[in-house]
Homo-oligomer: A and B are copies of this chain.
Amino acid sequence: MIDALGGYGVATVHEAQDRAGLLAAYMRPIYPGAAISGSAITVLVPPGDNWMVHVAVEVCRPGDVLVVAPSSPSSNGYFGDLLATSLKARGVRGLIMDAGVRDVATLTEMKFPVWSKAIWAQGTVKASLGSVNVPIICAGLRIEPGDVIVADDDGVVAVPRASAVKVAEAAEKRVANEEEKRKRLAAGELGLDIYDMRDKLKKLGLEYR
């Protein structure tokens, strides 16, 4: 199910979920072309303190995606190549970080995908506690542990576990439906005709001059 959702991509899953579940537009991949899906391990961290990320590694299992958000806004580099090495060893598929990351040249070489708010080397301390696997607000979205995360070049979307099957079915229909439209559009047909928009536009008062 998680892999299926990943296959549809962020835009399709977001639409299949009634246009809900997207993280904010500032969450960008550190290199182009990455596309993952997985089950969310959530981490709430203090600003400028990455200790709980180390704690969270222990609960990660193959197929998970680590999702980290600070309790107040931060662009510090919470995550680098050593943590990535550790996560990769545990089968984690990627990181969603509502803050900064660093060592991005090495992360790119390792092909460990990260979506983050910033790329910045600013270090963190290990002084205060946070929480692992609690509901968090990450880049404007509430994410619960176990939510399905899908991330690609378009950004990041989360799907509650309970609705994953329904969303995947809606996504499947959408994709099937789009394939035929793509062919007709490529052949030069207009969306105005394919989607039968002319009448509705006229009723709303659209004028051609």
Contact = CB atoms under 8 A, between A and B. Distances in A.
Given A140-B140, A152-B105, A190 B58 contact: yes
A1 interface: no
Q: Assembly of this chain: how many copies?
A: 6
B72 A191 contact: no
Contacts of A197: 51, 54-55, 126
Contact of A105 (B33, B129, B201): B33
Chain A interface category by residue count: 35 or more
Contact of A153 (B11, B74, B119, B137): B119
A186 interface: yes
Contacts of A125: 46, 127-128
B80 A11 contact: yes
Interface string A46-59: 11110100110110
A181 to B, nearest CB: 6
A25 interface: yes
Q: Among A49, A102, A103, A205, find the residue whose CB has the most chain B CB atoms closer than 10 A.
A: A102
A159 to B, nearest CB: 13
A103 B154 contact: yes
B55 A206 contact: yes
Interface of A: 9-11, 14-15, 19-20, 22, 25, 28, 31-33, 35, 46-49, 51, 54-55, 57-58, 71-77, 80-83, 85-86, 88-90, 100, 102-105, 108, 118-123, 125-129, 135, 137, 140-142, 152-155, 157, 178, 181-182, 185-188, 190-192, 195, 197, 201, 204-206
**8 A-B pairs with the lowest CB-CB distances in the bound complex, closest first:** A47-B48, A25-B120, A127-B127, A86-B185, A121-B154, A11-B121, A19-B123, A47-B47
